[in-house]
Structure 1
Amino acid sequence: MDIEMKQPHILIIEDDVHINNIISDVLQKENFLCTQSFSGSEGKMNVHQQVYDLIILDLMLPGLSGEEFMCELRTNLNCDTPVIVLSAKEKLDHKLNLFDLGADDYVTKPFEVEELLARIYVHIKRNSQSNSPGTHKYKNLVLDSETMCVTIHHSELNLTRQEYKIIELLVKNPARVFTRQDLYELAWDDIYMGEDKTISVHISNIRNKIKQFDEEKYIDTVWGIGFRLSK
């Protein structure tokens, strides 16, 4: 099966190493990126560090249980990433409780890999269709052109109008190197008078605001030319 989109990134949270590896191997053969976690606490840490397209979650986990992870994900982390739960528990009230916690789907153990894969494709496709055309993602940064909102790890950056415009220009044109003149005239909608300090200060402010939530590098300085998204 092929999906016409970027390579989806899936987080697998399963303490059974054999099952975790089987799921990971199958998904990688289907051209998915996979991150493997073996406890609820490790899964929570991964969600803090990376934005995922889907989470596969076992319930009987060491440390943070699957139910506790769901509460953290939907409440404290305010994360709406689709979650497929894996569990040997079959009672209806248990399944309904998980849906109340925010799970999107439920697969009973033991399961057929083909069924899990089919459900994964359904949720990946549904999630990609529900994303606004004005939404752009780069690393852990999400930019919404309609609301003029930029988030990293689901936390909103407090940006000025010009800072937002600079990020928008870079994210929408990831391969382009923008000169200081480009950024000034496009972000300020004014004629550039050769004032380099203004752009440098704004780039520094953006980097500092991003660094509050993510240590990864997002903006490169191209010496003698200008700035671009980090590769």
Structure 2
Amino acid sequence: MNHILIIDDDVHINDMLDNILTQAGYKVYHAYSGTEALLFLSNCKPDLILLDLMLPGLSGEEVLSQIVNIPVIVMSAKADVKDKVALLLNGAADYITKPFEIDELLARIIVQLRDTSKCNPVHTLNYADITLYLDTHEVQITNRNVKLTKTEFAILKLLMENPKQILTKTVILDRISEDTPDCMESSLRVHVSNLRKKLREVTGKDYIEAVWGIGFKMAES
């Protein structure tokens, strides 16, 4: 399921889009000001953003300048070609003029998400509701960022690459040695324990299980 953030201070538009996008199978989030949007993005990374320009506090243009690696469709009543060109050159993926037809907006969303998936076909690992970003070394659970150390990230990556296998301590240490040469057998259990705790804090679920006397594996979902 793709996640879409709507940044618009108009409650009516938010409610209308929420209803339509939810029916279309998207998970929808809302921010009603530029400041609220940046706060949301500091913790979560949606798949696409719908951005209004006339926002309280920070303007849509200011918010756009701080968004990286997320396609943004600007929704605005500004119809001047110069405005559209400036926004597209400054990071917007697309521009739709208010008022707009819902079918057109849905089509533009599909195109942007399709293009994003083509550009990044194997840059993530997924297990249950965990998403691991190989390029940025980010980890998210239900769209919430989980801050991991380099060693914790390497362990989780290895386990997610082999979700049905029990990996022994020796295998884990050998496989992650290139990324984290300072991890020793004596500290591995501590790293795994900290990793399990950080993941559990988000949803209360246990995502990694210890197999007594052998090693670790991803928990059965």
Query: Secondary structure at the residue paired with 1:72?
Result: coil
Unaligned stretches of 5+ in structure 2?
A: 179-183
Q: Is the CA contact 1:219–1:228 (under 8 Å) kept in the aligned structure 2? A: no
Residue 168 of structure 1 is matched in structure 2 by 157
Residue 16 of structure 1 is matched in structure 2 by 10
Q: CA RMSD in A?
A: 3.5
1:38 to 1:180, Cα distance in 2 relative to 1, 3 A: same
Q: Does 2:104 align with 1:110?
A: no
Q: Does 2:141 align with 1:150?
A: no
Task: Please tell me the residue identity of whatever aligns with 1:10.
Answer: I
1:22 to 1:221, Cα distance in 2 relative to 1, 3 A: same
Number of matched residues? Answer: 205
Residue 4 of structure 1 is matched in structure 2 by none
Q: Does 2:80 align with 1:60?
A: no
Task: Please tell me the residue identity of whatever aligns with 2:138.
Answer: T
Equivalent of residue 27 in structure 1, options 21, 24, 31 = 21
1:97 to 1:134, Cα distance in 2 relative to 1, 3 A: closer
Q: Is the CA contact 1:56–1:84 (under 8 Å) kept in the aligned structure 2? A: yes
1:51 to 1:196, Cα distance in 2 relative to 1, 3 A: same
Task: Please tell me the residue identity of whatever aligns with 1:197.
Answer: S
Unaligned stretches of 5+ in structure 1?
A: 1-6, 74-78, 190-194
TM-score, reference length from structure 1:
0.72
2-side partners of 1:105 and 1:55: how far apart? 10
Q: Residue by residue, what CA displacement relative to the aligned partner does 1:106-165 show, whole Å, maximum 9, x if unpaired?
A: 000001111100000000111011104243257464124xxxx623589x97736xx554
Q: Residue by residue, what CA displacement relative to the aligned partner does 1:29-86 show, whole Å, maximum 9, x if unpaired?
A: 111111111111111111111111100000101111100101122xxxxx21000000
CA drift of 1:12 comes to: 0.7
CA drift of 1:171 comes to: 2.7
TM-score, reference length from structure 2:
0.75
The percent of aligned pairs where both chains have the same amino acid is 38
Query: Secondary structure at the residue paired with 1:10?
Result: strand
Q: How does 1:1-231 map to 2 (within 5 A)?
A: 7-73=1-67, 79-136=68-125, 139=130, 141-144=132-135, 150-151=137-138, 159=150, 165-174=154-163, 178=167, 180=169, 183-184=172-173, 186-187=175-176, 197-203=186-192, 216=202, 220=207, 222=209, 225=212, 227=216
2-side partners of 1:207 and 1:150: how far apart? 17
Q: Is the CA contact 2:209–2:218 (under 8 Å) kept in the aligned structure 1? A: no
